[in-house]
Amino acid sequence: MRKLDGTLLEESRMLSVALAALVNAVAPLAGALVVAAPFWDPVAAILGGAAVWASLAVALATLFALGFVLGGLKPRSLAYGAAFLASGLLVVLAGGA
Instruction: Dump pLDDT digits (tens) for 42-66.
Output: 777 787 778 778 888 888 888 777 7
- What pLDDT score was predicted for residue 97? 52
- Output the average pLDDT for the chain: 79
* pLDDT confidence of residue 82: 81
Show the low-confidence residues of the chain (pLDDT under 50). Answer: none
DSSP alpha helices (H): ranges in 1-97?
Answer: 8-36, 41-47, 51-70, 77-95
| Model-wide pTM > 0.95 | no
Phi and psi of 72, rounded to 5°?
85, 20
- Between CA 66 and CA 39, with CA 23 as vertex, the angle to 5 degrees is 60
